[in-house]
Structure 1
Amino acid sequence: MRRRLLVALTVFAAIAVLAFAVPLSLTIATSRTQQLVLARSGDADRFANLADDAVTAGDSRALADEVSRYHELYGENVLVVDARGTPAVNAGADVTDPGVVAAVAAARRNQRPHAVDKLTPWGAPTMLVARPVGTGVQVNGAVVIEASTARARADIGRAWVVIVVGGVVAMTLFMLLAVTLSRWVLRPLAALSHAVEELTAALPKPRADTVAPVSIAGRHGGPPEMRALAGSFDAMAFAVADSADAQRQLVADTAHAMRNPLAALTIRLDSLEPAIPESAASTFRGAGAEVDRLTALLDGLLSLAVAETPAAFDAVRSAADDRYCDAVQVVADRFDAWCSAFAAADQELRVAPSPAHADVAVAADVLAQILDVPLSNSSRYAGRGAHTELAVATEPGWVAVTVRDDGAGVRPGEIDKLTTRFFRGSSAPAGGSGLGLPIAAALTQARGGTLTVEAIHPHGLAIGVRLPAAVDR
């Protein structure tokens, strides 16, 4: 990846430098060429005026003296011809040179001068500048200057050297920047890949019967560094998922295996009850209560392990229709089932006005199991005189069932912890395992829904269960 990144940045830098250097070089060459042409054109026009005056006066000595001084001063050849094309003044020009002959002929025909080619450091050593003598109606001869391009080409060459040196310096700076940038980008990537590899090596190896999913690198490819990181991440994710599954399976197996010894222990304790003296009866009843609490705790762990393994639910679903139910009907059933418990706790349970029906993509027994948790908590912890309400609401694609009470509630700092395993509110009385809401949350999430816990002002608690609505059947 570093090589590709460096190549890409280098190509980009080269394009940027060339896009600046090439137009600048051409502009300098064009400007210097135009400067030379304008200067020699002015000299040719001056000689043409002097030649026209010489024709009018019939004396060409002033013209000859001016041409001679120009030739000595600049070292450039000058040719002046009369109307018949005969050389009138010649300062070093070769009258047989085809270029000179063509320039003279064009000027005598009063043709528009051709555009001069852009000068380059390796261009021609001279350039011809021709002007007609006289007006456009009457041409009395021509002037040709064989201008030297040495100085102009030298100026262009020096400017181009400066541009090349500047371009090389810019490319060097770009390369250093590209190397620094590539290291800055790839160093944390390499460190992350190494850290993921170390973490993966420390995780338990996946079981032999586990089928690994298709890797990210196998699906998308990419540079070697990215493929290595993707491979390490895939291995880590696979190992973590397998470890989580193994952990849930261990919890489920342990809870299931311990239920039989606890059941046997309960039977033995029941058989020992007649033989327990009155002085030890309270201790014996306490031991029985602890066994019952431990049994309930194992049942909760087993339920939580099953709730966190969606595949376990798929194995026990018998028919496709069992995955759908009417939330309004389930709420009515739970109201009937819990009325007596709330009445015994000196509380009131009611159902808020609801729609005629609200089908959810959840089995009726699962939704009932989810709702039993907040209903049980309300009846146990809301306090005497509390009012609990069951409400069903629908929205596009979703059905929400809420259990809210105006009881004692919990402290604000404990709201977000209520779905944490084994957490119990500080105001909750003795009893309970702290697994009810985590189990309900796991059951809800396993079916694509969410469970939320919110405080009610001025006091109370609301448990919201939001589940996907069932499609039309």
Structure 2
Amino acid sequence: MRNRLVAILVVMAALTVSGLAVPWGVSSATARTQELWFSRYVDAEWFGDLAARAITTGDQSSLMLAMQRYSDLYGDRVIVVDAAGREVANTGVATDDPAVVASLTEARRNRHPRQPPERLHLYGPSAMLVSLPVGSGIRVDGAVLIEASTKTAQRDIRDSYTVIALLSFTAMAVFALVAVLVSRWILGPLWRLSRSLRDLTGSLPRPVAGTVPTVMQRHYRGPPEVRALARSFDTMARAVTESVDAQRQLVADTAHAIRNPLAALAIRLESLERFIPGEGTAAYQRAKYQVDRLAAVLDGLLRLAVAETPTGFAAAHPDADWPSECGVCPVVKDRVEEWRPAFEAAEMTLDLDSSATPDLTAVAIPAQALEQIMDVLLSNSSRYAGPGAHSRVTVEPSATTVRVAVADDGAGVAPKELDQLVNRFFRGASATAGGTGLGLPIAVALANRYGGELAIESVQPRGLRVAVRLPLVQ
């Protein structure tokens, strides 16, 4: 691609330089031709005045002297003839030259040219004929002709062409250098990006043994660098997809391997409870609490892995036939009623802003995913807002989205901790109730997958608001 780009830029530069150099050369040659012509035309008029007096008086001495000096000075030859075409004075013009005869004849007929007949060339004729009639008005007493040498003018034209050629070659060299630099500037990021993609792809985990790698059946057209970059993107996408699938499979296998021993351990702990003496009851309860917490963490990791997996719920539940959209109001009302007893047990109140829950267009998220997000938001509020707090759920529709928020006037969170609440396993300093620190990351992953976003903000004078904005089905 670099060679093609450089070639295109050089060709365009060559066309531009040629478009400037050729008219410049033509203009230079034309100007030099006109300069020679008009200077000799003025000289011919002066010889015409001398010739008119010489023909009238019959004294050619002054005319001959002027013509001889002119020839010695400029190297041009001059001839003067009378009205009948007889030679009056001549400094070396060949009278048998057909061009000379024709030019004198036209001048005696008073039909002489008043501008250069043609532009001089490097290898054109060595002389330029300039003829004028002798006389006044319509009366023609003869003709004068100057056979001007074009060597000096041709040398000047050649010098102009040389300067133009040198400037053109210099400009082309500069343009070629600029083309190379521009091509490197344009294509350099593509090369570096392609190399980075190859390095990144090589660092990704390999597919699990026994799985069949995904094959990208794509054929690209275009420059080699762009095709290589596209293939690198495909390879990276394939590797990332296989890596994510391998990660999900690993989480599933790990969960399957840990759950059974963990469940057996919990059963054994429960069966041992009646054998625990009174002084060991506290240690027993702590051990049982840790087993329950480990089970909760495991469940949270499984839900987070499912939420962050591109195949999502379909991968975790291949037999389920869930619609990809749902109505917001029914889901929100159902989860509020489901969680109301938990809030009452925590000595809190929970209500739904019914004025902001009209019938809405469905949102582009499965009902089960929205339920899981609402469970996270309501669970956090019931656990951490504190006794006596009041929580309110609001649904605010707009033209293209709907915003579902759970706000409370409880203990709240320190401002410096707000951005960290979506980090895995992070729990705020004021969080005294149990938890794994995976709820909000799960909600964020679910919202992001379906084109939504989750925001956390403080409520004044105290409290916390967690809101999720989801796109409406268009």
TM above 0.5, yes or no, is yes
Aligned to 2:25: 25
Change (3 A) 1:326 1:174: closer
Q: Sequence identity of aligned pairs in percent?
A: 50
- Separation in 1, partners of 2:401, 2:184: 49
Aligned to 1:197: 198
The 5 A counterparts of 1:375-454 are 375-454=378-457
Unpaired runs of 5+ in structure 1?
Answer: none
- Separation in 2, partners of 1:89, 1:408: 124
One-letter amino acid of the structure 2 residue matched with residue 196 of structure 1: L
- Separation in 1, partners of 2:102, 2:417: 102
Change (3 A) 1:157 1:420: same
- Separation in 1, partners of 2:373, 2:233: 35
Report the more deviating stretch, 202-211 or 387-396.
202-211
Aligned to 2:341: 340
Contact kept in structure 1, 2:364 and 2:472, CA below 8 Å: yes
Contact kept in structure 1, 2:33 and 2:116, CA below 8 Å: no
One-letter amino acid of the structure 2 residue matched with residue 161 of structure 1: T
Give 1:286 deviation, angstroms: 0.6
One-letter amino acid of the structure 2 residue matched with residue 468 of structure 1: P
Aligned to 1:108: 108
SS at match of 1:428: coil
Give 1:253 deviation, angstroms: 2.3
SS at match of 1:360: coil
Change (3 A) 1:137 1:174: same
Contact kept in structure 1, 2:103 and 2:112, CA below 8 Å: no
Change (3 A) 1:3 1:470: closer
Matched, 1:456 2:459: yes
Report the more deviating stretch, 84-93 or 232-241.
232-241
One-letter amino acid of the structure 2 residue matched with residue 429 of structure 1: T
Contact kept in structure 2, 1:262 and 1:291, CA below 8 Å: yes
- Separation in 2, partners of 1:364, 1:200: 36
Change (3 A) 1:206 1:36: farther
- Separation in 2, partners of 1:365, 1:162: 81
Change (3 A) 1:310 1:167: closer
Give 1:375 deviation, angstroms: 0.9
- Separation in 1, partners of 2:256, 2:471: 32
- Separation in 2, partners of 1:445, 1:18: 58
SS at match of 2:88: strand
Contact kept in structure 2, 1:328 and 1:354, CA below 8 Å: no
Contact kept in structure 1, 2:343 and 2:349, CA below 8 Å: yes
Matched, 1:128 2:140: no
Aligned to 1:261: 261
> What do you get for the CA RMSD once the two structures are aligned?
2.3
- Separation in 1, partners of 2:84, 2:293: 132
One-letter amino acid of the structure 2 residue matched with residue 290 of structure 1: Q
SS at match of 1:179: helix
Aligned to 2:233: 233
Contact kept in structure 2, 1:44 and 1:131, CA below 8 Å: yes
- Separation in 2, partners of 1:406, 1:271: 43
Contact kept in structure 1, 2:37 and 2:116, CA below 8 Å: no
Aligned to 2:291: 291
SS at match of 1:329: helix
Change (3 A) 1:385 1:111: farther
- Separation in 2, partners of 1:146, 1:302: 105
Aligned to 1:307: 307
Contact kept in structure 1, 2:384 and 2:433, CA below 8 Å: no
Give a deviation string over 1:99-148, Cα, whole Å, max 9, x none: 11111122122225053311122221111111111234212211111100
Unpaired runs of 5+ in structure 2?
Answer: none
- Separation in 1, partners of 2:350, 2:333: 11
Change (3 A) 1:387 1:110: farther
Contact kept in structure 1, 2:325 and 2:365, CA below 8 Å: yes
SS at match of 2:422: coil
One-letter amino acid of the structure 1 residue matched with residue 263 of structure 2: A
Contact kept in structure 2, 1:80 and 1:88, CA below 8 Å: yes
Give 1:15 deviation, angstroms: 2.2
Compute the TM-score of the two structures, normalised by the length of structure 2: 0.91
One-letter amino acid of the structure 1 residue matched with residue 391 of structure 2: T
One-letter amino acid of the structure 1 residue matched with residue 235 of structure 2: A
- Separation in 1, partners of 2:134, 2:47: 9
Change (3 A) 1:184 1:363: closer
- Separation in 2, partners of 1:269, 1:446: 40
SS at match of 2:125: coil
- Separation in 2, partners of 1:470, 1:196: 36
Change (3 A) 1:237 1:274: same
Give 1:161 deviation, angstroms: 1.3
Contact kept in structure 1, 2:244 and 2:309, CA below 8 Å: no
Aligned to 1:72: 72
Give 1:323 deviation, angstroms: 3.5
Compute the TM-score of the two structures, normalised by the length of structure 1: 0.92
One-letter amino acid of the structure 2 residue matched with residue 354 of structure 1: A
Aligned to 1:95: 95
Aligned to 1:6: 6
Aligned to 2:351: 350
